[in-house]
A and B are shown apart, each in its own frame.
Chain A
Amino acid sequence: MTRSTPQDFDQRKVTVLGRFSYGSIPMITHFVADAAKEAKLDEDAVFHCQMAVDEACTNIIEHAYAEDPNGNFEVNCWIEPGTLTIQIIDQGKKFDPTLAPTPQFSSDINQISPGGVGIHLIKKLMDEVRFEFTKQGNTLTLVKKSPLLIHMSASKGIPIREDKHGVWVVAPRGQVDSLVASDLDEVLSVMIKEGKIRVVVDLAEATYISSKGLKALVSAWRLARDSGGELVLCDIAPRVQSIVDTIGLNQVFAIYLDLNDAIRAIETEH
């Protein structure tokens, strides 16, 4: 296996073309699963993408191509770390699945109407679902984001965001004691394993950092390096800076005065 360089993690497009039939769905779902794995989605998210695409293709065959079941399809995937965007285009009659009624499952048996289960599942499985009717035909766009990272960053209260393309900013707040340190360790390692390997840790709002916190930063720095990326620090408060200096970590990390300097540096170097 070749190691990915940061450049490989820029957005990349892959396409598969063919004639639609139930028989071609497995080929399409395999194609999408490979793209999802490349986008570093976890096993559950890969399955969700496959299932959503299966449902979408079934809808197209049963509705858009109801009269002519063997129309063309085009499936495009845009791969970027932690996010997969899937576009399915068909030339059948106009069919907007997002307008399907919500299925009703009530205890009254007469009220049960299972229509629209497919699109309902697609909406549940994916983070974004969009439909457009263009001159190319019906265009359904599905987006799946790494649920692990979204969930983790939110639940642990450690804000992360993508700043410039491919540069991620992690900004722990307050006292980075041993409890926060293990959260920080987890968030950073998931990020980097997902391919978000250009990382700025913004310590502007960190008032204290424990030895465990420093250890988390060092191991994330090493992981980023090993993955072909970089991790730098910025905006360290004097008190935190003195801890970093005492341990000699100023020899390990590139430390910048402010966030913009850090982002500019990591952008140009990697």
Chain B
Amino acid sequence: MDVKVQEMNRADLAVVSGRVDSSTAADLGAALNERINNGTLNIVIDLSGVDYMSSGGLRELVAALKRVKKDGGDVRLCAPSARVREVLELAGLDSIFQIFDEQVNAVGSF
């Protein structure tokens, strides 16, 4: 799994790739926490390169969302593969995350 974070005007863009499973989820959480600790409120997570996401990864997404929402921020997701989207929906996360098809729309939504 790999996370590359880029600062945009109104949000940070985190481009995640590879497998986000029980053994790698903590690294995703650490990368997001580092940005939030530095004061980032708005985060777009680009999931286009994620080929597998287990509940461990979902928990990190939710944890990041909870942290930024407390201060009025948001975490928005974009471009999940069909498999990852299915998992987000099965877990019920599509009710708490805004999910965009295109990265540009997710970034532009802030």
Residues in chain A within 8 A of chain B (CB atoms): 22-23, 25, 47, 51, 54-55, 58, 61-62, 103, 105-107, 109, 112, 114, 117-118, 120-121, 124-125
Contacts and interface: CB of A to CB of B under 8 A. Distances in A.
**Most chain B Cβ neighbours within 10 Å, of A117, A118, A121, A125:** A117
Given A58-B56, A109-B65, 8 more contacts: A22-B23, A51-B54, A105-B62, A114-B59, A114-B62, A121-B87, A121-B90, A125-B90
Contacts, number: 62
A109 B56 contact: no
A165 B107 CA distance: 57
Contacts of A51: 52, 54, 87
Contacts of A58: 21-22, 54-56
A23 B23 contact: yes
A118 B55 contact: yes
B70 to A, nearest CB: 7
Contacts of A25: 21-23
Contact of A117 (B52, B58, B66): B58
Contact of A105 (B21, B23, B70, B95): B95
Contacts of B87: 51, 121
Given A47-B83, A112-B66, A121 B91 contact: yes
* Contact size range, B: 20 to 34
Nearest to B96: A105
Nearest to B22: A58
A107 B96 CA distance: 6
7 contacts: A22-B23, A54-B54, A58-B22, A58-B54, A103-B92, A109-B65, A120-B91
Given A25-B22, A114-B59, A117-B55, A103 B66 contact: no
B59 A117 contact: yes
Contacts of A125: 90
A212 B71 CA distance: 65
Interface string B54-85: 11101100110110011000000000000100
Interface string B90-103: 11110110000000
Nearest to B60: A114
B69 A109 contact: yes
Nearest to A104: B92
**Most chain A Cβ neighbours within 10 Å, of B22, B52, B93:** B22
